Chain A
Amino acid sequence: MTVLGTLALVLVGLAVFVCGAALGHGAARRQREHAADGDEVRALARALHSAGLAAAPLRGGLGPDTARRAARRLRPLLAVPALAVTDTTSVLAWDGAAEHHRNQLEARLTGPPRSHTFPLTCDAGGCPVRWGALAPLTAGGRPVGALVVCAATETSAHARAAEAAAARLSLDLDLAGLDRARADAYEAEMRALRAQISPHFIYNSLASIASFVRTDPERARELLQEFADFTRYSFRRDGDFTTLAEELRSIEQYLELARARFGRRLEVTLRIAPEVLPVTLPFLCLQPLVENALKHGLEESVERSVITITAEDEGTEARVAIEDNGVGMDPERLRAILRGTAGAATGIGLSNVDRRLRQVYGDDHGLVIETGVGAGTKITLRLPKFRPGVQAPPPV
């Protein structure tokens, strides 16, 4: 007991000593740093930080909720008794005292807001608000609202602070507009992709179906059915996601139509692990890749084309690969396509799929493309079996 006990005591003592030393060292260093930088620098850092915090909610656009949060964070920074954020017609948020001036302020919001100061009157004794300074909030150069700073006396400092704060908030409103524009562009691109089934494809499909009408009416009927199913899937409007089974079915229809045209020149092998068929993935994610493989394999060469599509189970992910033996591509050019700097003629298929995969699953789930001039192309993508928010609509 004595030896063990002594040993334990020594160990505990050592541990306490180490902890104490570490704590003391840290505190001393903090104090030194504290003394070193001046009060002004720290005040500036704090101000910049609060300004950023206050503006951040407006990144989501100007609304009652975002305005309220911005006002709450901005008022301590400007050190005024009351502060309001408005849109062009009404007060969205009032932070601080003397909210009975709200209607009075709302009455002034006629016409586009412009910078000015104005008195605020009321009967309440000891009301901390006697006048206000209004500074317009702009987005994309157009006024969309105003920031109103209320104080007891009229000072130019307050008016200038309101101007500066409004300018800072306007910056984030601009960014919100950009976000929306980007989402719109994405939506438009998506719509373009859905409508991208090229006129050539439709023309060629119908022509090859027509060639079967006399010789093999049954085949022609089947092909027409495939064509109808394929276009119905591609023009579908509901939902951003689909299942691998549905996507592969559409690819089959596509390839069936292509085979009607190319006959024996096109050989397709599908090697699909049935376990991964229920995996959810962004809508029209594989079809552009197959179209790409077909274009490289057949339309740019006269050889027999072999396209292999594999889907394997990889535990928590599914791995899908699309391989062709076509003309391949220069890696530099491929890089330019993925960056979107290769010009308009390249189509938007590859880069769009890549971008959507990254957006949904994160940057480590983009397309992996192995290619070289004359060496064929292999495109691999990894699809997580589950990701919150990624849900396919029920099959129709």
Chain B
Amino acid sequence: MNRTYGIAGVTAVVLATVLVGALGLRVSRTTSDFYVASRTVAPRLNAFAVSGEYLSAASFLGVAGLVLAQGVDMLWFPIGYTAGFLVLLVFVAAPLRRSGAYTLPDFAEARLESRAVRRVAGVLVVGIGWLYLLPQLRGAGLTLRLLTGAPGWLGALVVAAVVTAAVAAGGMRSITFVQAFQYWLKLTALLVPVLFLLLAWRADRAPAPVWDQRPVFHRSAEVRVDRPVTVTVREPVGVTVSGTVDGRTVHGVSLLLGEGPHRFGADTTVRFPAGAVVPLPDRTADRALAGWAEPLSSSREQHGLYATYGLILATFLGTMGLPHVVVRFYTNPDGRAARRTTVSVLGLLGAFYLLMPLYGMLGRLYAPDLLLTGDTDAVVLVLPQRLIGGAAGNLLGALVAGGACAAFLSTASGLTMSVAGVLAQDVLPTLGVRHFRLATLPAIAVPTAASALVGDLPVADAVGLAFAVSASSFCPLLVLGIWWRGLTPPGAIAGLLLGGGSALTAVTATIAGGADPGWPHTLLAWPAVWSVPVGFAAMILISLATRDRVPPGTATTMARLHLPEPPPPGPPPA
């Protein structure tokens, strides 16, 4: 990708964000033509903002990458990311708003009247926020690496610094206008290129992807290998190599790669002829093979059905526990508006996620080399250049890069804000960290360090893990807290600790790569199937066992959560 264009795209996005923020916030008028009531954030505007903050690097980059690498099974990711809001709409949105809570710990305290539950919830929110920040920073590192060639950890560091500065300076607050703008920016950054890509695909006589075979190079392609990689060649292929291959250093030599494993060193360029089968690293070999287009046929992690259910449970139930999503609902004036917002969000996210499979499919056709290098998350970024090329390709590439930048900036800043708020209020007040600006530093330093330590985790997978923890801790708390009078503080604490804690342990083990392949790994990598029931069961059973601890104000609280607001007043008499 052309660096100048890419950097220009990212810079333009940052500038536009600052500009919209400055203009949106400073709306000031004299009293005569100004009514506060009419200025409460309209549900639809808030829906744009929720979507803008929610569509992260995992959605923008990761989903297409997963579809490219692992096929249609991965379409459950966009479905789950969207359907989570359906569950939120049905069970949580309006009562949560009526509770008056700003953060999840606030809700825990409002409903259960216990500081202890509040503190446990605070720790879990911080854990989920950090888990979710991890893939954002990785996406940032990936984007900046493709744009500038800087190593991935540097990109993550740069973004962390930008977000810290912005949040600490008060620039990237939960400004509704900015986040709403980010949604449209992201949608545009995907929609416009995909139209051109489809035109280019038609001009290319619309080749159909070879669904059930190994991916092939549709055109002659030059592949740059940054990190050493061992691939398995299935049929001999003549390539031109500059760099290291099988321990030999060569410069622009044509050679025939025979059947069997071959090792490319770092900084090696390999030119494949058109029609050659893409040699794949052993790790991804069996996944990217036959059955790409057929659900559950590939032996993903060997237990495809279980993994799919794990994914569905985590994403469907996890959305309601995401700290940066919950705080946005506070902006709605009442429960009714919160519901309307959620309905709009469903539509907006649906529109966005429709585009992702297209990128995955086009990537299968035109960028199969990403399977070789393992950078499948980059497929959205490289496609314009591959398919269109020239100035137009560069411009579209810059647009996509800008969109990716918007994706990780908006989500990362929203998450950092929420985590910093909870850190300052519930976790670290004893250390004298009263103001959330001071808490910004630990809020983002920990995931930055972790992203430097943790190597190779696909962006969307890491997000799935954050969803799993959220689904097994806050889903039981919110659903039972809103719909069951019998919930007690000890029950809530037990459920949060057992459900969330077990999921968190499983997730940490997965990220650290501690589990054996096979069932142990599958169970740990998709914990939601067992950890969500554990969370619910612990909450219900311990609550039943401690029936005398039901908070005294339960009836009042429940009435407040569930009684609808009076209907909105009609237009004022003329």
Q: Which of A's residues lie within 8 Å of B, judged by CB?
A: 243, 245, 248-249, 252, 255-256, 259, 267-275, 277-278, 280, 313-316, 364, 385-386, 388, 390-392, 394-396
Contact = CB atoms under 8 A, between A and B. Distances in A.
B333 A245 contact: yes
A141 B37 CA distance: 53
A268 B30 CA distance: 5
Interface string B501-540: 0000000000000000000000000000000000000000
Given A270-B28, A386-B102, A396-B566, A316 B332 contact: no
Per DSSP, chain B at the interface is loop
A165 to B, nearest CB: 31
Contacts of B436: 314-316
Contacts of B103: 316, 386
A256 B566 CA distance: 28
Contacts of A280: 100
Interface string B186-229: 00000000000000000000000000000000000000000000
Contacts of A391: 100, 560
Contacts of A278: 40, 330-333
B395 interface: no
A394 to B, nearest CB: 5
A395 B40 CA distance: 14
A259 B34 CA distance: 14
A277 B25 CA distance: 14
Interface residues of B, number: 45
Contact of A395 (B27, B563, B565): B565
Contacts of B35: 249, 252
Interface string B417-433: 10011001100000000
B248 interface: no
Contact of A270 (B34, B434, B560, B565): B34
B283 interface: no
Nearest to B26: A271
Interface in B91-144: 100-103, 106, 109-110, 113
Nearest to A248: B36
Contacts of A249: 35-37
Contacts of B425: 316
Interface in B393-422: 417, 420-421
B164 interface: no
Contact of A274 (B100, B106, B331): B331
17 contacts: A243-B333, A245-B333, A249-B35, A252-B34, A252-B35, A255-B31, A268-B31, A269-B29, A272-B36, A272-B39, A275-B174, A277-B36, A314-B173, A315-B421, A315-B437, A390-B100, A394-B566
B478 to A, nearest CB: 16
Contacts, number: 106
Contacts of B420: 315
Contact of B41 (A256, A274, A315, A385): A274
A275 B41 contact: yes
A271 B333 contact: no
Given A270-B36, A388-B109, A388-B113, A277 B28 contact: no
Closest 5 CB pairs of A and B: A385-B102, A386-B106, A271-B28, A248-B36, A315-B436
A275 B100 CA distance: 14
A339 to B, nearest CB: 25
A269 B100 CA distance: 29
Contacts of B106: 385-386
A381 to B, nearest CB: 16
Interface string B311-348: 00000000000000000001111100000000000000
Contacts of A364: 434
A394 B560 CA distance: 9
B170 to A, nearest CB: 8
Contacts of B31: 252, 255-256, 259, 268, 270
A385 B30 contact: no
Nearest to B434: A364
A313 B469 CA distance: 29
A278 B176 CA distance: 14
Contacts of A256: 31-32
B18 interface: no
B563 to A, nearest CB: 8
Nearest to B557: A391
Contacts of B550: none
Contact of B29 (A243, A259, A270, A395): A270
A266 to B, nearest CB: 9
Nearest to B45: A274
B427 to A, nearest CB: 13
B175 interface: yes
Contacts of B26: 271
A308 B103 CA distance: 30
Contact of B36 (A252, A268, A269, A275): A252
Contacts of A386: 100-103, 106, 110
Nearest to A247: B36
Contact of B173 (A269, A277, A315, A394): A315
Contacts of B109: 388
B39 A277 contact: yes
Nearest to A385: B102
A390 B27 CA distance: 29
B565 A394 contact: yes
Q: Which of A278, A394, A396 has the most CB of B within 10 A?
A: A278
A198 B31 CA distance: 22
A386 B100 CA distance: 7
